[in-house]
Amino acid sequence: MKKTVLAFIGLFLCLAVFGQTLDDQYGKDVESIAAIIDAYYEVISGSSEDPWQFERDKFLHSANAVIIRLDDEGNAAFNSLEAEYIPMGLNPREDLYEIELKREVRHFGNIGQVWSAFEIRKDPEVPTNLRGLNSIQLHYEKGRWYIDSWTVQMESIDNLLVEEFLNGQ
């Protein structure tokens, strides 16, 4: 009898944990623009011991989301979300923390635009000079927010875009 009760409790706990839908697990991440951007920074950041959160990251983005990386000359490299995952899955994770420095949000109807300056760190407590600026486009549909595209450009000696953004220029 005791084994039956323990088995039933174990089954119940497994169903409670593994039976959750993505909405149950990550629904709070997409309730607002602030929540979805905070969730992105949580997903990308972590120590080498932390597993990648591919499922959560995919939940934040629309089905055809695109990531655009601009080089110093402004040349664009376009990638799907899945293409971004390939190098991550093939290489061991390193300590990486994207620390948001400043955010500006514009929101009209079901469209959102976020400018977000960030700094990349190996240790979350130790500042670096490795900074960039994100331009994030979102839309609201079926009771939640989706990230549609993400354009990033890193700061360089010739392009102090983060400094300009932080100073409101």
Residue 42 lies in a domain: yes
Question: Is 19 part of a structural domain of the chain?
Answer: no
Domain of residue 119, CATH code: 3.10.450.50
Q: Is residue 131 part of a domain?
A: yes
The pLDDT of residue 16 is: 43
Domain that holds residue 89: 26-166
Per the domain annotation, does 82 fall within a domain?
Answer: yes
Q: Is residue 10 part of a domain?
A: no
How many distinct structural domains can be found in the chain? 1
Sequence-ordered list of residues with C-beta below 8 angstroms from that of 147, at least 6 positions apart, any chain: 36, 40, 60, 61, 62, 65, 136, 137, 138
Residue 14 lies in a domain: no
Give the residue ranges of the chain where pLDDT is below 70: 1-20, 22, 169
At residue 158, the pLDDT reads: 85
